[in-house]
Structure 1
């Protein structure tokens, strides 16, 4: 139910993914007067507990995705690893925000880093690795201390390992047992921060204040906003996040995760084109939550205040 490009309350919003972020999206959408239809793979999908309707199936089932798309007015995602080809398929039937092209960038670390670097955005120095010779070249180019990660599907520290100067390339290569990797320079950082922002179809951008994050065993443990950083570093983080939203032509919510070096340099660690765990504090601490912003961007509504 669309009026001049705006998807009106009473319409049904589709979300691919049945986890906690999908659940919180559904709750925000329902508060604004929308129905929510969740598409999820088999298993205990907590988003289904609050959704108005649920479809259970594989993300590669194009026929079922077509049926799902026919029953909703617009579609978003709660995580970035829905196959981009499946997203492109539903995109031919209904508005999808963020687009399949944005997801395609975020699903592959080499593609993500290369795309951001091509727009002049500061990323951790990296080198694609497909062979043991590539790993040797990465060690020469980036230094002996590296973090080597799978190019896709890794999260919360999974799919990565540190490589030190004393490690033999042949031994490392045997342990990795994968030919689609990225090597990143080991960064000595002072802290980790994130910026969650939203961009509407008109190009309107709303950014939340930077959030300082503490991880334990690669899992987010605590997020704090406002941060204790210098004002100019916070300003730079916001401007870089704005640049990412514009460079990728994002319509929706996106989180940019940064390393902050001891001298205040900001390096993009990774991006997530959806609400982020560090942004949960926006539910209570800001006038508009990241989940309401996701609904607003999806439906073509004006973005809410981030005060």
Structure 2
């Protein structure tokens, strides 16, 4: 299996990306990893991280970089030699089975559509990150930002793709699929969710009905379906709440000597809980609906996050996620 990594995408690029790729190459020896970016700088960092002798780690030169503030479509079309675009082209040309980037989300989606290509039967690919849940299993939510709006038919496509991904990549037999809504009753929601409900009931998935946002973290479903606007608002709300909670706990536990002693006792449990909610453990979110595997890592990904992104990508390749989604879509034709 061959994985191309955008070495210059993300807040910690290229240092954190290269360090993570080196660690991944050491652990996942069956994966041939190619770091894409300024060759001289990448090789310098590979050497600094002790990866020069790794036989499954190589470099592909790319002279340009797409920054986070660039307009996605214009950047992808104009910067043909950008690290993100070159890595995506490797998937299109059959030189890689997957691409990973922590860079500009819009640019990666654009490269996925314009360079890698969309699967037949999919109107719009979806960004599908994992949201941590209290039981540690997590829920795959899509779409969380690739498309702001969605039709009932597109929500159904998201559901099928998400169900396949959880079954194949995560080994969950008959994943439970829920529709994010303002109430659990079938007649709740706006016109789109009302129209989507019967389509989801008829789809080849295990549909468990509407799910309210307050229940998501309790693990009531394995796949959560929504449009990109609602999904992104939910995700940012959860991230903000978690950050505020941990910030408040830190302030309280450092207030005085007694609270510091309490913190020392609770520290192992708090660390375990924090790790459960940490995006770095997830690694990357797949962009489902493309002809190749495209994985989006968090913009602040460090070496640990990139290493875990490679782990997820190896699983997706091994499980032939794209081939299975294509097969499931073909059954309805």
TMscore range, shorter length:
0.3 to 0.5
TM-score of the pair, normalised by structure 1: 0.35
In terms of fraction of residues, the more strand-rich structure is: 1
In terms of fraction of residues, the more helix-rich structure is: 2
TM-score of the pair, normalised by structure 2: 0.33
Higher relative contact order (CA 8 A, sep 6+): 2
